[in-house]
Amino acid sequence: MAKEITPKTTITSELTVIPAHAVNIPMFQLLKEDGTVHKGAVLPDISKELALKMFSTMQFIRLLDERMFAAQRQGRISFYLSSLGEEAASIGSAAAIQFEDMIMSQYREQGALAFRGFTVEEFMNQLFSNERDLGKGRQMPVHYGSAAHNFMTISSPLGTQIPQAAGYAYGQKLDGNKNCTLVYFGEGAASEGDFHAGLNMAAVFKAPVIFFCRNNGYAISTPASEQFAGDGIAPRATGYGMKAIRVDGNDIFAVYKATQEARRIALEVGEPVLIEAMSYRMAGHSTSDDPSGYRTKEEEQQWRNKDPLLRFQKWLTAKGWITEDKAAEQVYDTPTDLQKEQLEALKAHIRKYPEAYPATAAGVK
């Protein structure tokens, strides 16, 4: 029997040129910039407990980023990469999938790992490359990986994880398990050949994978306007015969709902989905970058008004699930037993290696 010719098409005697922007995808948003909900919009079904966990993870990541950026400037760690302004994209999506689903990260999704329970000690072990680091100190800071958290180890070459995710998800399907793979990447990484190979393979093999693109406007100093001529990343899915969702990456409810739907499609319909989350990298690319050389303060200010943490905080406050002081940084009046223990251990360490520390400044005798 003859095989069907793909694609199926019709014949026309009229010459048709398809316009360059035949597909224009709107951005799904539930929470407006002021933290109120669009009229008639249906929020995802999120319990108070889950909402507070999502919020405290956002607060934790913001603090971690700030402190670790400073630690790099003080010469304590060699490198760091902040996710300032993009916390809702990683945390909202990680919250919408199951713990057993595999996460493959690019490098700016520490929020997803923290949401899964990676502790502050585990972050420190990796960032300081010590013997307790799960990667045994072999990697640069930020290249996290944890089998216990179903979080594949990060690798630096852009796009690596995209075809790997297609293959891993296909394996999940062949094994007949009920889990999917969520793979994160930037809009810059979507210019790599691996992006096209990965999406095409996943679409053809109907692998249960969620391709989650964080479109944060920049690939280091290159703005999105110099990276591609099309309507962003989402319409590319159409070319591969894949479903797509464009979502406001600074709206944690929209991200959650979009990812939940993508997971349903991946597992119930049995198809991959491409999500494009629109956001902005509010910090420099990494500790090696200074954004003042390629963008204006005014542009940054526009995005500060769309801050995902403040937007969620406003909603939680209006709902009565947090109070103003809950949103503020929590500090102890007096040191806890664990803090006292850690202080003694630090002093002993400084006494042992006095030449490595300004010991008098630290008040260690």
Position 216 contacts ligand TPP (CB under 6 A) = yes
Tell me whether residue 180 or residue 213 sits nearer to Mg ion (CB atom). 213
- The question of whether 144 is a catalytic residue gets the answer no
CA nearest to 181, candidates 221, 148, 141, 151: 151
Q: How far apart are CA 263 and CA 179, in angstroms?
A: 9
Q: Which member of 160, 164, 216, 227 binds Mg ion (CB under 5 A)? A: 216
Q: How far apart are CA 111 and CA 151, in angstroms?
A: 12
Position 143 contacts ligand TPP (CB under 6 A) = no
Contact 101, 179 (CB under 8 A): yes
Q: Which member of 186, 235, 272, 291 binds Mg ion (CB under 5 A)? A: 186
Position 311 contacts ligand TPP (CB under 6 A) = no
3-state secondary structure of 60: helix
Longest pairwise C-alpha distance within the chain: 90
**Rounded least distance, CB 185 to ligand TPP, Å:** 6
Question: Which is catalytic among the residues 264, 294, 304, 351?
Answer: 294
Per-residue interface string for the shown chain with ligand TPP, residues 98-127, x marking contact by CB under 6 A:
----------x-------------------
Position 188 contacts Mg ion (CB under 5 A) = yes
Q: Which of residues 258-287 bind ligand TPP (CB under 6 A)?
A: 281, 285
Contact 209, 180 (CB under 8 A): yes
- Cis bond leading into 19, ω under 30°? no
Position 188 contacts ligand TPP (CB under 6 A) = yes
Q: Which member of 36, 156, 292, 323 binds ligand TPP (CB under 6 A)? A: 156
Q: How far apart are CA 26 and CA 114, in angstroms?
A: 30
Position 125 contacts Mg ion (CB under 5 A) = no
Size of the site for Mg ion (CB under 5 A): 5
Q: Which member of 140, 220, 359, 364 binds ligand TPP (CB under 6 A)? A: 220
Q: Kindly state the DSSP code that residue 29 receives in the 8-state scheme.
A: -
**C-alpha radius of gyration, the chain, whole number:** 23
- The question of whether 281 is a catalytic residue gets the answer yes
Tell me whether residue 185 or residue 256 sits nearer to ligand TPP (CB atom). 185
Tell me whether residue 110 or residue 146 sits nearer to Mg ion (CB atom). 110
- The question of whether 294 is a catalytic residue gets the answer yes
End-to-end CA, the chain: 88
Size of the site for ligand TPP (CB under 6 A): 16
CA nearest to 35, candidates 305, 365, 347, 278: 305
Position 184 contacts ligand TPP (CB under 6 A) = no
Q: Which helix (DSSP H) or strand (DSSP E) does residue 228 occupy?
A: none
CA nearest to 142, candidates 234, 233, 69, 198: 69
Enumerate the β-bridge partners of residue 243. 273
Interface contacts to Mg ion, rule CB under 5 A: 186-188, 216, 219
Contacting positions for ligand TPP (CB under 6 A)? 108, 156-158, 185-189, 214, 216, 218-220, 281, 285
By annotation, the residues acting in catalysis are: 281, 285, 294
